[in-house]
Structure 1
């Protein structure tokens, strides 16, 4: 495989880090809080405008992200959306939120400002699975997120949820899916891996500081919330079997299964882990004007430039401004040459593979991907034509 770069007309995903790392909760595994932020500022409309000026008319899928994006408030949010509406090219809008601030006033706001915004909620399955999603005093946030899902359901909105598969979920895939799909508004579930390795938690002087020190005392090896690739693959196998046996597929799309099915069938898909369109198709705009590649890549290693330091987004998408990143990502894909699952796995999640480089988990990661693809493929083969 070769690293595919966007052409001049290709659409890209743009992650807007509206409040930077600022959040109203303090998840133990938060990757945003591992990044360097010099100043706790929010994204200014003027910075967004300068970024969009460099995008020409390229199609953009924009995601409001953070931290917690709603922390910027309705007044600033309205100004940011006004800038996005004036963009001369096609724009679709989504938002990833923990849901805690998502009250009726916010939903009324989006109904007026951008009615077709897609809203994603972060919730790690059920109450037990969400125990790493806590506030700054280590208190659970799960009941507040459930309240948001119930409100979205009453408003007739369909939502997607992101589930980070930590150790707390292992062996409980059926319970986790049943808990999520009990909410009629949930139509998409993304089961994201938590393959953290050698990650350093920031040391905040907060009541849950002790929990972080226990879970990740040295920043070396696997922190207490992470799973191995094999454990994640086992969870996916259990989740897939339950998805099929319970016929949840009739009303809920689950990733990565949908993308694996498309990949096995030879069809393209947009899920980066099973697509040829990887990190070069993702840009992250930070409040201070820094532009990085995928927000899942560490900073400053993923830094591509700044809004005032580049004339065109095309220059950044080529990765010429960060040759080391281009070399690292390309090198990972070259390792796939000759693999029996190259055409279906399509290189996997490159941020995870970079994190595992030199850890001894590289082969385990690839084996786990093969196991998941084979599990889904076997089920597809068993379906009568």
Structure 2
């Protein structure tokens, strides 16, 4: 067992990619599964509010912090099991840095997760919100998740089907009933990527959509695209002081699409085609496209200029260095309300809001 407890009132801004958030009453770092389980069970016995923290890349923590126990999951490492057919199964600790894992397996010419290069955060968070980018979601390679059920007190394995994966969601999102301990994913050993499904990525690679290419080529292309959008963490670049894409792409019912199209046409002109994609439950629209057409361009400033939309990517809300969480949420609400007023479409935040609300 290995835990490290920091002094009381630990600043959570030191552990989130937004670099925002007040203090935690108690802060524990767990580097083994046993230590993690012990910390969770101790909080449960005491009836103390509990916040599980991975890489902090998908959290917006209120300025008042968290009046309870924060357990930072810092378990690391993975194993690879190869079969005769060339399939590779990876078992990965929940606290393992996601991109370090991706870089390593791509370096070993293993394919399956290369499109998720450069995504910050920990492995354990990826199935919770079914992380995706450039036409690929982790659910496509996911086999199962090993987790601790806080209600039964047992460690159990949940299959991919049991996780109820959807667009940026799963049955684990928005609940603290289960603690992810490890993730199992399937990779291929032929050195080639998943079929390239995203047109922007295909153009960057100089290939046709649907082609498979060396995994290393995809990783480099994805990292290049992400850097151009301020989506690769850089302490010196305030455009990366964000939680990634702040809003999910909205899904509207088929019956409502015509009304949205008419409202868009009245604002931006009849000759402008609104991007739309088939999705479960309706039609998926581009949040970034709607935000820009609602009058919020790259670099749009929030309160006092302390926050702004990224100068590279309108979906990222950024801390310019001296912001508060209240500043960030004021900007988020301005954007959300502006899109709703102009187009009748509601945007919803992708990160978890802890002790704060829009």
TM over 0.5: no
TM-score, normalised to structure 2, is 0.29
Larger RCO of the pair (alpha carbons < 8 Å, separation 6+): 1
Bigger strand fraction: 2
TM-score, normalised to structure 1, is 0.27
Bigger helix fraction: 1
